[in-house]
Amino acid sequence: MEISALYHECESNYSYPLKENIIKITLRTKKDDDIKNIYLLYNSKYLFKKERYLVEIKNKISTKYNDYYYIYLKVEDVRIGYIFKIIDNNDNFYYYSENNILINKEYEFDKCDFDYFQLPYINKIDIVKVNKKFNNRIFYQIFVDRFFDGEKEEGNIINDKINIIWGDNNNITSNTFAGGNLKGIIKKLDYLKEELGISAIYLTPIFESYSNHKYETYDYYKIAKDFGDETTFKELIAEAHKRDILIILDGVFNHLAYYSPIFKDVIKNGKKSKYYSWFIIHNDDEKIDLENKNYESFGFSKHMPKLNLSNGSVQEYVINICKYYLKNYKVDGYRMDVADEIAHTFFKKLRFELKNIDENVFLISENWHNAHLSLDDGSEFDSVMNYPFTSALIDLLGYKRIDEIEFIYRINELLVRYKEASLNNVLNLVSSHDKARFINDCNNNENLALIGYSLLFLYPGIPMIYYADEIGLDGNNDPDCRKMFIWDKNKWNISRFIFIKSLIDIHKNLDLNNEDYSFKLDYLKEYKLLKVSIYNKFNDKEIIINELINLSTMDINIAKLIDDNKLILLSSNYDIKEKIIKKEGLVIYR
């Protein structure tokens, strides 16, 4: 057995409570190592020296290089001490504790005071929880300028910067102003709720800014006049809530506009400005140098100076903005832009302040990588945009640089990355305003795109649709991914719309993201099929849902896998009568 591959850590994703009396304990080993049995020896840490319970750990999930053995343990005493006992196929035995790995040597329990692993106390407040207000929602991201011009429909012109005819998607540039606004969203709420089934909207920024995207704000307390005003925004919130649609705002606080009054004051007064310390200025220079950019910014853009959110005054400034919209407009949460570049201490303080106003406020981190530090202890964010999931789908279906087995390893890596409640909270996506639309990732292969959407809605977490993906809008990277929504249904990809609508119905009607939900991927080598297995409890009944996906180059008969008693929930490229999944086809059944 490879001893160096063994890993466990107390009070981490390897050892944590799911409820006040249920804990999950995980041990990492080398993949396919020489292991016959793994046992957990445990008890109250105050009784551990005298006596222990012994239970075998049988559950296992595998990544490319490691196996993760895990157990759910129901405990009466919430102060747990434990060690692992491992037996290999030659009957050698190993004791793994916090400080030692003993080989073929008995563990000295009478001398273990400083040596065993522990979960010292289960404090209710420390348990990371599923946000039940959000966990079964279907998100919809709207890039406001490109969704719908509801003001024009009423004969109003509120945006004098419009420079394109609505629908002319061949001429989108970084400087295009199409005229979408908040009134347009209000007018399409019934479409989103009744026709599609959306229950939460994530709006790209709506605060005052000169750009079409509004990602460089100059006044956080004003609604961008291109989009409407405060009255219209209140109407949007009220009408959305009336339909049980929640509203998430884009919190762009990593940086602001170089033309904002705050930064202009520093440009004018240098070190004498009361806002000088609100920014990170190189070499403590006396003055701002716009030409040579002697200050930190978003990316390399001199137009987006970075706010110093390690500064207490800046923290208070941003927290007050978030509290203002939470209290006065009843927004339901924030997606925090560039969250991975902002101090963790700020987000801890922000969460504390906002949760004291609304315990259900939903806080989402933008982080394209591993966000465990923001989610681990539940003190910062509820959720993260799950771009690693997006990446795995693109590598499988778009770039085709991984096969089904490698995809399983990648997904399993994500399943062990976060605590289970965090997995229920993550925001899963395939398209967004920051990347090409998924159909373009799939090289315009509609069949592969549908496979990606099916996995999006079956994977643990909250699925999000980027506006107009459901009607077949395409688009490469920014600005092409920000085309205008085409409202003429004769130009829609109706089969795509029906497919996504069906996935939404399945997800909602079977409550596919509750606390009893489990997700597993397998590769059926004999059939060359990727298999999704889902276990769920719904209305006190056990539900098993499966999906078979054919990424091979041939049609596959699955008559031996699906009997006549199975209910087909959704399919694509599937011959129901002959039970044949065609190339790039799928079938979801229960």
Which CATH number fits the domain that encloses residue 57? Answer: 2.60.40.10
- In the β-sheet with 22-30, what is the strand arrangement from edge to edge? 15-19, 22-30, 66-74, 59-62
| pLDDT confidence of residue 344 | 97
Q: Which amino acid is at 359?
A: E
Mean pLDDT of 439-447: 98
| pLDDT confidence of residue 512 | 85
3-state helix, strand, coil in the chain (%, to 5): 30, 25, 45
| pLDDT confidence of residue 538 | 76
Q: Which two tokens stand for residue 241?
A: 């809530």
Q: Is the pLDDT of residue 539 over 80?
A: no
Domain boundary among 251, 269, 300: 251
Looking at beta carbons, which pairs linking 556-564 to residues 24 or more positions away fall under 8 Å? 556/527, 556/528, 556/529, 556/580, 556/581, 558/527, 558/529, 558/587, 561/524, 561/527, 562/587, 562/589
Q: Summarize pLDDT for 38-75 with one digit per residue, the tens.
A: 999 999 999 999 999 999 999 999 999 999 999 999 99
Do 153 and 119 belong together in one domain?
no
Q: Which two tokens stand for residue 525?
A: 């080598």
Picking from 58-67, 478-487, 505-514, which range would have the lowest pLDDT averaged per residue? 505-514
Mean pLDDT of 91-102: 98
Q: Which residues are catalytic?
A: 337, 366
Do 33 and 122 belong together in one domain?
yes
- What is the extent of the structural domain holding 263? 255-308
* C-alpha to C-alpha distances, 533 to 22, 523, 568, nearest whole angstrom: 24, 11, 14
Which residues are CB-neighbours of 151 under 8 A, at least 6 positions away? 157, 158, 159, 179, 181, 183, 184, 228
| pLDDT confidence of residue 535 | 92
Q: Is residue 264 part of a domain?
A: yes
Do 35 and 148 belong together in one domain?
no
Q: Which residue has the tokens 């009944």?
A: 541
Do 142 and 217 belong together in one domain?
yes
Mean pLDDT of 86-115: 97
Q: What are 383's strand-pairing partners?
A: 364
| CA 85 distance to own-chain centroid | 36
| pLDDT confidence of residue 510 | 87
Mean pLDDT of 450-471: 98
> What distance in Å separates the CA atoms of residue 448 and residue 585, rounded to the nearest whole number?
8
Mean pLDDT of 72-88: 96
Mean pLDDT of 351-362: 98
Q: Is the pLDDT of residue 150 over 80?
A: yes
Mean pLDDT of 260-280: 97
Q: Which amino acid is at 88?
A: D
Do 122 and 133 belong together in one domain?
no
Q: Which run of H or of E encompasses 7?
A: none
Q: Is the pLDDT of residue 205 over 80?
A: yes
Phi, psi of 81 (to 5 degrees): -115, 145
| pLDDT confidence of residue 267 | 97
| pLDDT confidence of residue 537 | 81
* C-alpha to C-alpha distances, 487 to 145, 351, 436, 473, 582, nearest whole angstrom: 14, 39, 21, 11, 32
Do 162 and 221 belong together in one domain?
yes
Nearest-5° angle of CA 574, CA 579, CA 580? 55
Q: Is residue 22 part of a domain?
A: yes
Do 264 and 243 belong together in one domain?
no
Q: Which amino acid is at 441?
A: D
Q: Is residue 497 part of a domain?
A: no
Please answer whether residues 535 and 544 qualify as being in contact, where contact means their C-beta atoms are separated by less than 8 angstroms. yes
Q: Is residue 577 part of a domain?
A: yes
* C-alpha to C-alpha distances, 540 to 431, 511, 536, 537, nearest whole angstrom: 35, 12, 10, 6
pTM: 0.96
> What distance in Å separates the CA atoms of residue 98 and residue 71, rounded to the nearest whole number?
18
CB atoms within 10 A of CB 81: 25
Q: Which residue has the tokens 């085709």?
A: 400
Residue 303 CA neighbour count, 13 Å, CB half? 7
Q: Is residue 324 part of a domain?
A: no
With b for 16 or more beta-carbon neighbours within 10 A and e for fewer, the 157-186 pattern comes to ebbeebebebeebeebeeebbbbbbbbbbb
| CA 265 distance to own-chain centroid | 38
Q: Is the pLDDT of residue 515 over 90?
A: no
Please answer whether residues 258 and 305 qualify as being in contact, where contact means their C-beta atoms are separated by less than 8 angstroms. yes
> What distance in Å separates the CA atoms of residue 161 and residue 152, rounded to the nearest whole number?
14
Q: Which run of H or of E encompasses 587?
A: strand 580-589
The tally of domains found in the chain comes to: 4
| pLDDT confidence of residue 540 | 79
> What distance in Å separates the CA atoms of residue 290 and residue 39, rounded to the nearest whole number?
63
Do 293 and 209 belong together in one domain?
no
Phi, psi of 290 (to 5 degrees): -65, -35
Domain boundary among 308, 328, 346: 308
Question: Residue 273's domain is classified under what CATH number?
Answer: 3.90.400.10
Looking at beta carbons, which pairs linking 48-51 to residues 24 or more positions away fall under 8 Å? 48/81, 48/82, 48/109, 48/112, 48/116, 49/109, 49/110, 49/112, 49/113, 50/109
Q: Is residue 331 part of a domain?
A: no
Q: Is-cis flag, bond preceding 479, omega within 30?
A: yes
Question: Residue 552's domain is classified under what CATH number?
Answer: 2.60.40
Q: Is residue 172 part of a domain?
A: yes
Domain boundary among 251, 273, 295: 251
Q: Is residue 513 part of a domain?
A: no
What value does the mean pLDDT of the chain take?
97
Please answer whether residues 254 and 337 qualify as being in contact, where contact means their C-beta atoms are separated by less than 8 angstroms. yes
Please answer whether residues 75 and 23 qualify as being in contact, where contact means their C-beta atoms are separated by less than 8 angstroms. yes
| pLDDT confidence of residue 51 | 97
| pLDDT confidence of residue 511 | 86
Do 221 and 264 belong together in one domain?
no
Q: What is the largest CA-CA distance in the chain?
A: 84
Mean pLDDT of 98-118: 97
Do 240 and 188 belong together in one domain?
yes
| pLDDT confidence of residue 521 | 98
Question: Residue 238's domain is classified under what CATH number?
Answer: 3.20.20.80
Packing angle between helix 494-509 and helix 446-458, nearest 10 degrees?
A: 10
Q: Which two tokens stand for residue 308?
A: 């110093």
Q: Summarize pLDDT for 370-400 with one digit per residue, the tens.
A: 999 999 999 999 999 999 999 999 999 999 9
Do 240 and 267 belong together in one domain?
no
CB atoms within 10 A of CB 577: 5
Please answer whether residues 80 and 117 qualify as being in contact, where contact means their C-beta atoms are separated by less than 8 angstroms. no
CB atoms within 10 A of CB 494: 12
Mean pLDDT of 181-202: 98
- Express as a percent the part of the chain with pLDDT over 70: 100
- Which stretches does DSSP call E strand in 75-228? 80-87, 93-96, 101-103, 117-119, 139-142, 200-203, 207-208, 219-223
Do 209 and 284 belong together in one domain?
no
